[in-house]
Structure 1
Amino acid sequence: MSVLHSGPRYASNDGVCDALCASLGDMVAERHEEHGEIVVTVHRDRIEDALRLLRDEHSYQQLMEIAGVDFPDRAERFEVVYMLLSLTKNHRIIVKCATDEATPVPTVTTLWPNAGWLEREVFDMYGVTFAGNMDLRRILTDYGFEGHPFRKDFPLTGYQELRYSEEEKRVVYEPVELAQDFRSFDFTSPWEGADYVLPGDEKASTPPVAEPKSTDSPKDTGAGAKTDAKAAEKVSAAAPAKEGTGTPDPEAPAPTEDRPDRKPREGSTNDTATATEIEEEKD
């Protein structure tokens, strides 16, 4: 059974970027196509207007995701990435804007209700604030959490650790008391040019074996006719008794056929077969 749908199976990017940027006008700060996707960077204060135009005029109906990216070396270190989907065109585009730690980004909860939770995730992980979001709280970390885990300068061990206190019967927060080896992370893999010896690497300086042993002949492995003959010898102290040997096992129970017959039961009793026949006759 064939299913008909208005959306094409595959939508080409040919001419799409030019048409969108012409419609957005001076809202566009940068545009390019990368990895088969159209990426449009707009000015931060015009992000709501740009996304509204793309939703209403170009049929990008769904906001699929809002993500954050951290570039510590930039003046505006954070990028807020909006991923849009057009169901009627079967096409996706990416819209981005840049901001810093103190400047908020206009909220798009006025366009898509699901943007509320997505903006809370970016705020929780990166610390980006959104002007107009009426419920901008942490959503992935705990209430007493300090810092933003997805920032590049956030230490891998964190700042606080939590545990359950039996004395206070609640979860308590304490400063991290672990070894702070990752506090000054230099973004260099410790396996590439480390100035110290990692645990286990001290074995790497062991010199190789001067004369490696090999098993080129059977005598090197211990195999041969003498070994086979010795393996065939019985070394067990007492093998189990076999039938017909004439040597009874003193601990074995007496055979059933040698036991005396059981005395007959007193009173009238019927065997199982007879009792079954009587019940069948009654039926």
Structure 2
Amino acid sequence: MTVLHSAPKFASNEGVIDVLTPALGAMLVSATEEHGEVILTVARDQIENVLRLLRDNHEYQQLMEIAGVDYPSRPERFEVVYMLLSVTKNHRLMVKVSAAEDTPVPTVTTLWPVAGWLEREVFDMYGVIFAGNQDLRRILTDYGFEGHPFRKDFPLTGYVELRYSEDEKRVVYEPVELPQDLRQFDFMSPWEGAEYVLPGDEKAEADAKGGKA
């Protein structure tokens, strides 16, 4: 008979914070629990050391994702969020650093090669620079694209639009135009000014006359 043992788990998120706070020491800025997740904010220049320690000493083996967030009103407007998974402890962890346009974040491709693609996504969408990434090119937008689409100050329409030109037999770029063909904006409800009463509108008609339906 084979007995299956479940992977060991932390007793609570508080227990995770109690263990990791002294382990990270001065590299740790803050440790909180939000929406059931442990979030560690660490010093930007120590991110590689922090993630190496979490991987090698605390069994967070997998880097699941690297994401960006934009807070334009902050002095360092960007957050870079690393999402880790411990398959042995069955536990997830989020690690954050802050950055500005001119403050590069150290690459973690030295720890997980897959970080190269993830860092490229954050660079493409937000403009965050990852120092040490040997292939920091755009990955989601087109060649020659200007700007970073996930920044809060990037226009929803973008700056250019592209189409295939039958005359030139190639894709061409043109300034964005927003044609409003076949659209009217009189902002009048179809019920206003009608010469008939639709079923269910008897109450509105009675209220208009000062009565009750």
TM > 0.5 fold call: yes
Q: Is the 8 A contact 2:162 2:172 kept in 1?
A: yes
Greater relative contact order (CA < 8 Å, ≥ 6 in sequence):
2
Alignment of 1:56-67 (within 5 A): 56-67=56-67
Asked whether the equivalents of residues 9 and 91 of structure 2 are also in contact (C-alpha less than 8 Å), the reply is no
Q: Does 1:206 align with 2:192?
A: yes
CA distance in 2: counterparts of 1:148 and 1:44, whole angstroms: 21
Give the partner amino acid of 2:143: Y
Task: Indicate yes or no: 2:44 matched with 1:44.
Answer: yes
CA separation in 1, counterparts of 2:199 and 2:92? 64
Instruction: Indicate how the Cα distance of structure 1 residues 27 and 203 shifts in structure 2: closer, same or farther if over 3 A, else same.
Output: same
In structure 2, C-alpha distance between the alignment counterparts of 1:127 and 1:205, rounded to whole Å = 49
State the Cα distance separating 1:75 from its structure 2 match.
Answer: 0.6
What is the CA–CA distance in structure 2 between the aligned matches of 1:5 and 1:144, rounded to whole Å? 53
What SS class does the counterpart of residue 202 from structure 1 fall into? coil
Matches within 5 A, 1:204-243: 206=192
Q: Residues 1-283 of structure 1: matches in 2 within 5 Å?
A: 4-5=4-5, 7-8=7-8, 12-178=12-178, 199=185, 201-203=187-189, 206=192
Q: What TM-score do the two structures reach when normalised by structure 1?
A: 0.64
Structure 2 gap ranges (5+):
201-213
Q: Matches of 2:13 and 2:199 in 1, distance apart?
A: 65
**Aligned residue for 1:264?**
none
**Distance of 1:79 and 1:18 partners within structure 2:** 24
Counterparts of 2:33 and 2:199, CA distance in 1: 61
Q: Once the 2 structures are TM-superposed, how far is the Cα of residue 15 of structure 1 from its aligned partner?
A: 1.3
| Cα displacement (A) at 1:164 | 1.1
Q: d(CA) in 1 for partners of 2:187 and 2:3? A: 61
How many Å separate the matches in 1 of 2:136 and 2:22? 34
| Compared CA separation, residues 123 and 2, structure 1 to 2 (3 A) | farther
CA distance in 2, matches of 1:58, 1:111: 14
Give the aligned partner of residue 276 of structure 1. Answer: none
Tell me how far apart the structure 1 counterparts of residues 3 and 142 of structure 2 sit (CA, whole Å): 47
State the alpha-carbon separation in 1 of the partners of residues 18 and 50 from structure 2: 15
Question: What secondary structure, in the 3-state scheme, does the structure 2 residue paired with 1:15 have?
Answer: helix
| 3-state SS in 2 of match to 1:7 | coil
Q: Match of 1:203, as an amino acid?
A: S
Shift of 1:212: 7.5
- Following superposition, the deviation at residue 199 of structure 1 comes to 3.0
RMSD: 2.6
**Distance in 2 of aligned mates of 1:175 and 1:64:** 38
Answer yes or no: is the 8 Å Cα contact 2:65–2:82 preserved in 1. yes
Identity of paired residues, percent? 70
Question: What is the aligned residue count?
Answer: 197
Equivalent residue of 1:201, what SS? Answer: coil
Decide which structure has greater strand share. Answer: 2
Counterpart-to-counterpart distance in 1, 2:81 and 2:144: 27
| TM-score, with structure 2 as normaliser | 0.84
Structure (1 or 2) with the larger CA radius of gyration = 1
3-state SS in 2 of match to 1:29: strand
Contact 2:122 2:128 in 1 (8 A): yes
Shift of 1:12: 2.9
